[in-house]
Amino acid sequence: MSSFATLTLRTNDLAPGGKSQLRETTQDGTRALEAFLIDVERKAFRIAQLALSHEADALDVVQDAMLQLSTRYATRPAEEWKPLFYRILQNRIRDVQRRRTVRNRVIALMPWRQSDEESEPDPIALAVDGGPTPPVQLEGDEIMQALEQALKELPGRQREAFLLRNFEGLNVAETAAAMKCSQGSVKTHYFRALQSLRAKLGEFRS
């Protein structure tokens, strides 16, 4: 059978249900994307929160990353979504950090603004958390606080590598793709992060 005849045959096979099949494919894609976003959104928020120490900013960058992935990269294979999503997230985090640096420099030039900023209490820090009961939670909270503090004190790239590898569970290649660096660099960053955390959280191991 000639190639043209084969093509015609295939086209005829597809033609009757073509639209419905396309719609189903689109719906499947949307469902897959939704499942992916549900899977990553909380972890992504925690990663952003640890990097930015600000809830609203963390939510904004996660929202941005979701939007970017959905509108620009959703047609890419699903296996690529995670590294892509975290690369977008890290870029957004860096954007916020840069903006903050500039803002802080400007504020440093205006001493009267500094006193205003410092006098305002952080409403998020003051918010009451409706979590589990205190006696059960106390130990977990203390550990979390210590870990959070240790993670915040890490250099950005080490924290990034540690969270993507350990928390999100990306492999070395995916982490390298997300961080836009070599796999060797990922291993180095991760190893150093682990060493620093062990040194700071020695008692945490017992």
Contact set with another protein (CB under 8 A): 26, 30, 33-34, 37-38, 41-43, 45-46, 55, 59, 62-63, 66-67, 69-71, 74, 127, 129-132, 140, 143-144, 147-148, 163, 166-167, 169, 194, 197-198, 204-205
Nearer to another protein, 14 or 144 (CB): 144
Instruction: Report the residue number, 16 or 130, with the smaller CB distance to another protein.
Output: 130
To the nearest whole angstrom, how small is the minimum distance from the Cβ of residue 7 to another protein? Answer: 19
Q: For the chain, how far is it from start to end, CA to CA, in angstroms?
A: 72
Instruction: Report in angstroms how near the CB of residue 42 gets to another protein at its nearest.
Output: 4
User: Which C-beta is closer to another protein: that of 111 or that of 130?
Assistant: 130
Cα–Cα dist 85/171, whole Å: 15
Between 36 and 90, CB nearer to another protein: 36
Least distance between another protein and beta carbon 118 (Å): 26
Q: At what angle do helices 134-153 and 18-52 cross, to 10 degrees?
A: 80
How many whole angstroms separate alpha carbon 137 and alpha carbon 171? 31
CB of 73 vs another protein, minimal distance in Å: 10
CB atoms within 10 A of CB 118: 8
Nearer to another protein, 30 or 114 (CB): 30
How many CB atoms are located within 10 Å of the residue 98 CB? 10
C-alpha distances in Å from residue 175, one per residue of 10, 165, 180: 41, 7, 8
Q: How near is the Cβ of 148 to another protein at its closest, in Å?
A: 8
Give least dist CB 55 to another protein, A.
7
In eight-state DSSP terms, residue 127 is S
Q: In whole angstroms, give the CA distance from residue 150 to residue 162.
A: 12
User: Which structure tokens are listed for 97?
Assistant: 């950090």
Helices (H), strands (E): how many in the chain? 10, 0
Nearest to another protein of 9, 35 (CB atom):
35
